[in-house]
């Protein structure tokens, strides 16, 4: 017990946690996770918890997955790191080939980095530089169109294309301009339309924006189908396909940020597949290594790649690269992760899991303070509200989402909310029974906290 206490004291003495008000962290009791197995996490006191948000939306096959452990160990027997600057490595090559095979047709080139944010950052720079290096009749093309409620990461570039005021507002003086189109947030439609009679006013506004600004816009950046950290906002059917159509019509590149939605989360390998959309640039991270090691990739087309491919003297090189780029341990475990997707038929097994979750979630509608339930595959957000009739939200200072998460913790599950949105992102390997158990914990927690 003494050791554990001192470990926590050391945490509070030395660590600064991400997205955390440290005063609260220091004043409250905290868990230290020591071990994971399957979809369970174990703290230093031996308590077990369901990993209800896949350890921040990453985990696919569970913790301590034998095949993934072995892939890391095998690679450790060879080399743990090497540089991609002037050299290559075997796992990075193998993974690139697999990614090209797996992603939508036309994405033929893979550029590595180590987080979702850097993958987006790279996509932004690529898009901008692409337009600089080809002959075209437009203007400078140095702006991006993004959506309100968008979240693309925490680096300055990715924050510039973000649209979550709570996280992004304070940095405004540091950011470059992006044009914000309305988010397809149907429950709180910015045009006061009803789902049943919606005539896509958000798309119409996007189109006028493109009409007016296409000559200065390099790319539209979008989280395909679900705006994750902005509140698990699921776009209506056909929205993404329409965005693709408009981007092509107005000569704007489409950057699909699949960092959260990719690798099976929405029920298909990539969210773009639901609407047969082929982006010009696509970012992947999180599920790429099954959650094991930090690695991400920005994929693009031959057309974009070719705009950089020339004699050195023409100065068209893409001058970007991080020290850990294409790390062989991370690449090796990612290759094993992709193989496991096939061997364990992760995608094929999703439909009944999605259905059982949807059926259970339907019961949540009877709760007085559940306003909206949003689900795409196993990407789920439950919006808690003060008043069901008026859709009045809970005051954010009441921290209802956090209270529900803490109640769930008492009942043996870790979840992390987004304001008033209770997020459920279970590992994709969860069984139907485990999904039901976890949803029952969420149901009971919401009921107890809101009644």
Binding site feature residues? 116-117, 151, 257, 286, 321-323, 416
* Cβ distance to ligand PMP smaller for residue 232 or 446: 232
152 contributes a contact to ligand PMP by CB under 6 A: yes
Task: Between 116 and 182, name the residue whose CB sits nearer to ligand PMP.
Answer: 116
Rounded Cα distance between 443 and 451, Å, is: 12
Whole-angstrom distance, CA of residue 374 vs CA of residue 361? 9
CB of 8 to ligand PMP, least distance (A): 25
Kindly state the tokens that stand for 303: 């057309």
Q: How many residues line the site for ligand PMP (CB under 6 A)? A: 14
Q: What tokens appear for 231 in the block? A: 């509140």
Nearest distance from residue 145's CB to ligand PMP, in Å? 16
Length of the chain as a residue count: 451
| Choices 41-49, 67-75, 186-194, 257-265 (CB under 6 A): range interacting with ligand PMP | 257-265
Question: What do you get for the CA distance between the two ends of the chain, in Å?
Answer: 36
- Chain-centroid distance of CA 317 in Å reads 29
| Residues 6+ away with beta carbon under 8 Å from 73 | none
DSSP one-letter code for 310:
S
For position 419 contacting ligand PMP by CB under 6 A, the verdict is no
CB 202 within 8 A of CB 183: yes
Question: Of residues 274-293, which lie at the interface with ligand PMP (CB under 6 A)?
Answer: 285
Nearest CA to 226 among 240, 215, 214, 213? 240
Helices (runs of H) and strands (runs of E) counted in the chain: 15, 17
259 binds ligand PMP (CB under 6 A): yes
Q: Which of residues 196-225 bind ligand PMP (CB under 6 A)?
A: 223
Q: Which of 36, 52, 62, 116 binds ligand PMP (CB under 6 A)?
A: 116
Q: Which residue has its beta carbon closest to ligand PMP?
A: 116
Q: At what angle do helices 328-343 and 66-76 cross, to 10 degrees?
A: 150
Residue whose CB is less far from ligand PMP, 133 or 266: 266
Per CB under 6 A, 231 contacts ligand PMP: no
Piece of the chain touching ligand PMP by CB under 6 A; list 183-191, 241-249, 255-263, 301-309 = 255-263
Question: Which residues, in sequence order, are CB contacts of 274 under 8 Å at separation 6+?
Answer: 225, 240, 266, 267, 268
Token pair 């107890």: residue: 448
Scanning 66-74, 141-149, 253-261, 337-345 for contacts with ligand PMP by CB under 6 A, the matching segment is 253-261
We find the least distance from the C-beta atom of residue 152 to ligand PMP, in angstroms, to be: 5
Choice from 91, 123, 228, 290 touching ligand PMP (CB under 6 A):
228
In 3D space, the residue among 164, 173, 223, 227 whose CA is nearest the CA of residue 396 turns out to be 164
Which among 147-155, 244-252, 305-313, 434-442 is the span making contact with ligand PMP, rule CB under 6 A? Answer: 147-155
- Tell me the binding residues for pyridoxal 5'-phosphate: 116-117, 257, 322-323
Name residues whose C-beta falls within 8 Å of residue 21's C-beta, 6 or more positions apart in sequence.
Answer: none
Residues flagged as binding site for substrate: 151, 286, 321, 416
Using the rule CB under 6 A, give the single segment among 109-117, 188-196, 361-369, 391-399 that binds ligand PMP.
109-117
CA 320, 269, 307, 246 torsion-angle sign: negative
Which tokens go with 1? 């017990």
- Binding to ligand PMP by residue 232, rule CB under 6 A? no
Residue 260 engages ligand PMP in binding (rule: CB under 6 A): yes
Using CB under 6 A, which of 153, 291, 381, 401 touches ligand PMP?
153
- For residue 121, state whether it binds ligand PMP (rule: CB under 6 A): no
3-state secondary structure of 179: strand
CB neighbour class for 332 (10 Å; exposed up to 12, middle 13-18, buried from 19) = buried
Looking at the Cβ atoms of 234 and 441, the one nearer to ligand PMP is 234
Q: Considering the complex, what minimum distance in angstroms separates the CB of residue 321 from ligand PMP?
A: 17
Residues of the shown chain interacting with ligand PMP in the complex, contacts defined by CB under 6 A: 115-117, 120, 151-153, 223, 228-229, 257, 259-260, 285
């Amino acid at each position: 017990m003494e050791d554990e206490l001192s470990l926590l004291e050391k945490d509070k003495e030395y660590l600064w946690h991400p997205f955390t008000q440290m005063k609260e962290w220091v004043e409250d009791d905290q868990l230290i996770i020591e071990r994971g197995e399957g979809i369970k996490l174990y703290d230093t006191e031996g308590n077990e918890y369901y990993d209800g948000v896949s350890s921040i939306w990453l985990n696919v096959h569970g913790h301590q997955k034998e095949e993934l452990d072995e892939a890391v160990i095998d690679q450790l027997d060879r080399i743990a790191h090497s540089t991609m600057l002037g050299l290559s490595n075997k796992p990075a090559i193998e993974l690139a080939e697999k990614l090209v095979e797996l992603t939508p047709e036309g994405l033929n080139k893979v550029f590595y980095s180590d987080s979702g944010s850097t993958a987006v950052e790279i996509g932004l720079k690529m898009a901008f530089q692409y337009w600089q290096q080809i002959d075209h009749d437009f203007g400078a093309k140095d702006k991006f169109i993004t959506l309100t409620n968008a979240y693309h990461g925490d680096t300055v570039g990715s924050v510039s294309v973000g649209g979550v005021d709570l996280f992004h507002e304070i940095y405004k003086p540091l950011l470059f301009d992006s044009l914000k189109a309305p988010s397809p947030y149907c429950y709180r439609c910015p045009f006061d339309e009803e789902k049943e009679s919606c005539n896509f006013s958000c798309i119409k506004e996007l189109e006028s924006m493109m009409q007016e600004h296409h000559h200065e816009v390099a790319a539209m950046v979008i989280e395909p189908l679900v705006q994750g950290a902005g509140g698990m906002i699921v776009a209506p059917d056909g929205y993404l396909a329409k965005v693709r159509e408009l981007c092509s019509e107005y000569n704007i590149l489409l950057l699909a940020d699949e960092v959260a939605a990719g690798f099976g989360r929405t029920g298909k390998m990539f969210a773009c597949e639901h609407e047969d959309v082929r982006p010009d640039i696509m970012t992947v991270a999180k599920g790429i290594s099954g959650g094991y090691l930090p690695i991400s990739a920005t994929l693009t087309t031959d057309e974009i790649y070719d705009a950089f491919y020339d004699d050195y003297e023409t100065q068209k090189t893409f001058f970007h690269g991080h020290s850990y780029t294409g790390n062989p341990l991370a690449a090796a475990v990612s290759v094993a992760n992709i193989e496991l997707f096939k061997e364990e038929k992760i995608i094929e097994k999703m439909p009944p899991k999605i259905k059982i979750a949807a059926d259970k979630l339907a019961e949540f509608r009877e709760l007085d303070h559940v306003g909206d339930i949003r689900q795409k595959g196993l990407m789920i957000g439950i919006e808690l509200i003060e008043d069901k009739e008026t859709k009045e939200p809970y005051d954010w200072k009441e921290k209802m989402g956090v209270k529900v998460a803490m109640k769930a913790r008492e009942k043996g599950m870790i979840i992390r909310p987004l304001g008033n949105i209770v997020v459920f992102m279970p590992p994709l390997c969860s069984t139907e029974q485990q999904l039901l158990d976890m949803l029952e914990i969420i149901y009971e927690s919401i009921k107890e906290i809101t009644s």
